[in-house]
């Protein structure tokens, strides 16, 4: 936390949902982003144990004012996955009704996954901006892993969901996946200025975060020079 910006990276099975074997196996990250002075924060991808995440906020003297969704998969927002029913977004809203910010292309997918209504969701376009207290967050539409995947740029940090990991990127063989779209999204992220710190959606590498300049050098997804080459290497 610096300059009044509140930012926490929470690992499932360690920082929340402790003892949950699915949460531990999936190594998801959730994120808390907010304005320290005003005590307001949003949560990114509240799966597995939303009550634990609210407890972290309360211990830090913060209150939840919204949710940011990277994409609709149940390990990020709850729902049915591989025969398991995961709690998440719907249960969070049952106790703490707040706006839920999703990309417009993901509304129907989130609705089907969680059972929420479209009226529970606030739809956004690419490069929309929301504010938490006085802290601005840019919403970047990065389709490919899912049609409405989005990343969040805040205070020199890129919360990348499953669009970009430190090593690799999200799969495109699930319903709605599109390798050509993902290639374009990765190129869009590679062109970001200011060398933000990449914070991925899963701990699939030894380190939990790294500068974008480092990721571009070491992550093989950036070695492809065309969509055709990307498809050949990663799909």
> Mind listing the pLDDT tens digit for each residue in 65-102?
999 999 999 999 999 987 889 999 999 999 999 999 99
CATH architecture of 5-234: 4-Layer Sandwich (3.60)
Q: What is the pLDDT of residues 172-189, one digit of tens each?
A: 999 999 999 999 999 999
Domain boundaries, the chain: 5-234
pLDDT of residue 19: 96
Cα(46)–Cα(53) distance, integer angstroms: 7
Minimal CA–CA distance to 46: which of 59, 33, 37? Answer: 33
The average pLDDT across 109-134 equals: 96
Question: What is the pLDDT, as a whole number, of residue 157?
Answer: 98
Mean pLDDT of 142-169: 98
Q: If 0-12 CB within 10 Å is exposed, 13-18 middle and 19+ buried, where does residue 182 land? A: buried
Share of the chain above pLDDT 90, in %: 95
Looking at residues 207-219, what average pLDDT do you find? 98
Q: Are strands 128-132 and 197-200 parallel, antiparallel or unpaired?
A: unpaired
């Amino acid at each position: 936390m610096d300059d009044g910006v509140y930012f926490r990276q929470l690992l499932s099975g360690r920082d929340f949902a402790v003892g949950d074997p699915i949460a531990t196996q999936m190594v998801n990250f959730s994120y808390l982003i907010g304005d320290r002075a005003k005590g307001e924060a949003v949560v990114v991808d509240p799966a597995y144990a939303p009550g634990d995440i609210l407890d972290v906020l309360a211990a830090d003297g913060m209150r939840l004012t919204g949710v940011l969704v990277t994409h609709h998969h149940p390990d990020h927002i709850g729902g049915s996955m591989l025969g398991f029913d995961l709690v998440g977004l719907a249960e969070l809203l049952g106790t703490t009704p707040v706006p839920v910010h999703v990309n417009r292309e993901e509304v129907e997918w989130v609705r089907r996954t969680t059972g929420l209504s479209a009226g529970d969701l606030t739809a956004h376009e690419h490069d929309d901006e929301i504010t938490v207290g006085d802290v601005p967050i840019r919403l970047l539409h990065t389709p490919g892993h899912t049609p409405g995947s989005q990343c969040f740029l805040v205070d020199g940090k890129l919360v990348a969901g499953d669009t970009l990991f430190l090593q690799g990127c999200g799969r495109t063989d699930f319903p709605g996946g599109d390798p050509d779209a993902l290639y374009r999204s990765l190129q869009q992220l590679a062109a970001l200025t200011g060398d933000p710190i990449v914070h991925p959606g899963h701990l699939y590498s030894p380190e939990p975060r790294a500068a974008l300049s480092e990721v571009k050098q070491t992550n093989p997804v950036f070695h492809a020079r065309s969509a055709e080459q990307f498809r050949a290497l990663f799909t």
